[in-house]
Amino acid sequence: MKEVTYDEYQAAFTAYSSCLEDAGYSLRIDGEDNQTVQFSVPSGAVASGADQKCYDEHFASIDSAWQLARIDTSNSARILRACLEGLGLVPADTYEEMNKQLFDAGEDPSVCSDYS
């Protein structure tokens, strides 16, 4: 998978957002977490198919690569790390390894909901 820069991520998000605006819809931007834009899509954009079209055309591949590159430092990883510590385990370094630890410990992922 191609490495994506923050500038490329921002440019792709702007293109996606502009495409939706051209179709008559505006995203609600809720800020960023872990250098990943947090946003909500209007239901009308989803129902009309505009969201899927714009996302696929302008943002999907960049967004996927960007988020996968940040999974180990994501909010989900922070929650999982705290959960494992709460279970008395020493968390592994990666999100994938931490998920395996939780599974190997015989714990259901729902046990981590208290840490969100």
End-to-end CA distance of the chain: 30
- Domain match, 64 and 105 both: no
The whole-angstrom separation of Cα 27 and Cα 44 is: 11
- Domain match, 16 and 43 both: yes
1 within a domain of the structure (yes/no): no
pLDDT winner (highest mean) among 1-10, 46-55, 74-83: 46-55
- Domain match, 57 and 19 both: yes
- In which region does residue 2 sit, left (phi positive, over 0), alpha (psi from -120 to 50) or beta (all else)? beta
Dihedrals φ, ψ of 76, to 5°?
A: -60, -40
Give bridge partners of residue 40 from the DSSP assignment. 28
| Token pair of 51 as six digits | 């969201």
Residue 114 has pLDDT above 90, yes or no: no
Confidence of residue 1 (pLDDT cuts 50, 70, 90): low
- Domain match, 17 and 62 both: yes
- Domain match, 85 and 62 both: no
49 within a domain of the structure (yes/no): yes
Q: Which amino acid is at 33?
A: D
The whole-angstrom separation of Cα 89 and Cα 108 is: 15
Question: How many residues make up the chain in this entry?
Answer: 116
Q: How many CA atoms lie within 13 A of 30 on its CB side?
A: 7
Number of independent structural domains in the chain: 2
- Domain match, 13 and 65 both: yes
Q: Name the residue range of residue 39's domain.
A: 6-70
- Domain match, 29 and 80 both: no
> What are the pLDDT digits (tens) for 32-76?
988 999 999 999 999 999 999 999 999 999 999 998 888 888 888
